[in-house]
Structure 1
Amino acid sequence: MLPATGRTTTMRRTRWPLLLAALCLAQPAAAQERTIRVISGFAAGGASDLVTRLVAEAVGPILGARAVVENRTGVNGVIGAAEVARSAPDGNTVYQCPMSTMAITPQLQGANLPLDPGEALAPIGNVALSSYGFVVAGNGPYRSVPDVLAAARGRTVVFGSAGVGSAQHLSGELLAQKAGVAMTHVPYRGATPAVVDILGGRTDFMITNLADISRQVQDGALRLLAIGDAGKSPLFPDAPALATLVPGFDVTGWFGICGPRGMPPEVLSRWEAARAADPE
């Protein structure tokens, strides 16, 4: 899990002009009339899918092409990564690469993966940061994080995630470790179905991107008990930092864009130069 620096309370767009410039460099002239595929490795409706759709919305008009989102779910985003890895390195197929798929899943012991996303894909750039929130059902019994931890000391408490090895999964395990309690993990094919099971009372809580759950929190369907990093959320100013309740807990996330290995070196070098020229 990466330390939280330069945090935001929900996903924010970063370096969009540079992202678009980098993707433009990757397009040969003949590709301008083609379809650009922007792959998400997770189910529609979650934070990863949202970032993917923002990218597609931005690059389509700029490139004069039709940008379409494809959701290729499974193995914590690795199925989507594999789809991009075997695509032509012409910049017409890119992957919205989240932190969990690129940095966490390949490190899991016993993971039987079709490929290592970090080895199979080439980074284009970072596009968003994300804070995490600890949520429970709005009509459920939990009013605070200590309520959940107290329940875990007396019975089985279940938390959901976007998949084995996802940031949500490791966030739940980190909470259990820091709090000294045992909890049961249930993986899903994305944050959206995991949230559905919280609402249905089949799981107790989830720690996930605020973008996954902001609407349900505002509607009262979910109750936000804490923010995952050490900062405050302007959107939810009354939510405490989880670290104040469980010392040592500090989680944030990032989202990037990657393409197949073998893209022209000048595309990647110009992208890196653009990133260095504009640290914001």
Structure 2
Amino acid sequence: MATPALVQAQPQAWPTGPIRFIGLFPPGGGTDILSRLWCLKMSEMTGQQFIVENRSGSGGNVGTEAIARAAPDGNTIGLASVAPLSIGPTLYGRLPFNPSQDFSLVSGLWQLPNLLVVNNDVPARSVPELIALLKANPGRYAYASSGSGTTVHLSGEMFKAMAGVDMLHVPYRGAAPAHVDIQGGRVHMIFDNIPQGLALAREGRLRALAVTGATRSPQAPEIPAMAEFLPGFEITSWGGVMGPAGMPPAIIHRLNQLTKESLESADLKRRFEENGAATWYTTPEDFATFRAANEAAFAPLIRASGARVD
């Protein structure tokens, strides 16, 4: 009688050692900042280290595949991102993982809009001025992204379609290296997740023109929403936590409840808000339902944009 009880109790003690959290993009980008804030909070709460391991490439697919291939013992978890889980299934002809079968989705962590920022040398100080500039110079200007298939990429594609402009897409392995080239003038703009772009704009290193949410961001109410100029324009990024398929239900439940507690803490809410994000808790079941619906919502945009990669 004692042996089954002991086995059943062990997952409840999770975590019993360091936890590896696989990030999908290079250090310094918006999702990396938010991931590290959450991992720091989880380390404080559990007394065990949550260590971020950045596995960037292919719009988040490299790190996501690493999560899928990890042992389902709860010692390796990682970032659940809109790019590989909701956009990737339509964007790519083949993926090295199945978003609906290869993961244990645990909870959402944050939602946030993207922010259009331009190099200070770009002669446009508003969205209407940028649209006029691009129409007068088709194909001359380039926008960066943190990788094909990210919301950063699709924000640019939606902007091209709705504004009727022609821009070159230049994908990077993450937002951080893209920002280096934007500030250096090698590319001209990016629809980045709001944390890093907003910080650079407030430092005067880039110029912010619009957020991609349906309304203005509470973190930057002075910056207009793109929908004010292009009605119906809306793209929101999100991140969550997941592990490989087959994680014990007791560990999934424990991680979900710890995540809920972390996201309800005033200090993490404040830190997320400072970086332009809103905390976002879900049950595992609601997270899976949301992901599937999000994939269906993105599919028409990806097909219409011609961005599909076979």
TM over 0.5: yes
Pairs within 5 Å for 1:122-161: 122-153=104-135, 154-156=137-139, 157-161=141-145
Q: Deviations along 1:149-172, whole A, 9 cap, x unmatched?
A: 222222322111110111011110
Residue type of the partner of 1:85?
A: A
Contact residue 145 and residue 171 of structure 2 kept, 8 A:
yes
Match of 1:217 among 201, 225, 236: 201
Residue type of the partner of 1:199?
A: Q
Residue type of the partner of 1:59?
A: M
User: Alpha-carbon deviation of 1:266?
Assistant: 3.9
Q: Which residue of 2 aligns with 1:172?
A: 156
Q: Deviations along 1:160-193, whole A, 9 cap, x unmatched?
A: 1110111011110000001112221110011111
SS at match of 1:91: coil
Which moves more between the two structures, 177-186 or 144-153?
144-153
Pairs within 5 Å for 1:265-276: 265-268=249-252, 271=256, 275=282
Q: Which has the higher helix share?
A: 2
Match of 1:208 among 181, 192, 200: 192
Match of 1:56 among 39, 47, 67: 39
Residue type of the partner of 1:57?
A: L
Match of 2:167 among 183, 188, 199: 183
Count of matched residue pairs: 250
* Structure-1 separation of matches of 2:145 and 2:48: 35
User: Alpha-carbon deviation of 1:211?
Assistant: 0.8
Q: Deviations along 1:90-146, whole A, 9 cap, x unmatched?
A: 211111112112100121143x43223443211100111112211112343221112
User: Alpha-carbon deviation of 1:234?
Assistant: 3.4
Contact residue 40 and residue 71 of structure 1 kept, 8 A:
yes
SS at match of 1:224: strand
Q: 1:118 to 1:163 in 2, by over 3 A?
A: farther
* Structure-2 separation of matches of 1:26 and 1:179: 56
Q: 1:26 to 1:43 in 2, by over 3 A?
A: farther
* Structure-1 separation of matches of 2:110 and 2:24: 16
* Structure-2 separation of matches of 1:61 and 1:193: 30
SS at match of 2:59: helix
Match of 1:83 among 42, 66, 71: 66
TM-score by length of 2: 0.74
SS at match of 2:107: strand
SS at match of 1:39: strand
Q: Which residue of 2 aligns with 1:35?
A: 18
Residue type of the partner of 2:128?
A: P
Residue type of the partner of 2:84?
A: T
Residue type of the partner of 2:106?
A: I
Which moves more between the two structures, 191-200 or 132-141?
132-141
SS at match of 2:31: helix
* Structure-1 separation of matches of 2:218 and 2:14: 45
User: Alpha-carbon deviation of 1:235?
Assistant: 3.2
Contact residue 38 and residue 95 of structure 1 kept, 8 A:
yes
Contact residue 127 and residue 210 of structure 2 kept, 8 A:
yes
SS at match of 2:33: helix
* Structure-1 separation of matches of 2:238 and 2:253: 21
Residue type of the partner of 2:158?
A: L
Q: Which residue of 1 aligns with 2:263?
A: none
Contact residue 115 and residue 198 of structure 2 kept, 8 A:
no
RMSD of aligned alpha carbons: 2.3
* Structure-2 separation of matches of 1:63 and 1:269: 15
* Structure-1 separation of matches of 2:251 and 2:39: 19
Identity of aligned residues (%): 38
Q: 1:30 to 1:46 in 2, by over 3 A?
A: closer
Gapped runs of 5+ residues in structure 2? 1-8, 261-281, 287-310
SS at match of 2:96: coil
TM-score by length of 1: 0.82
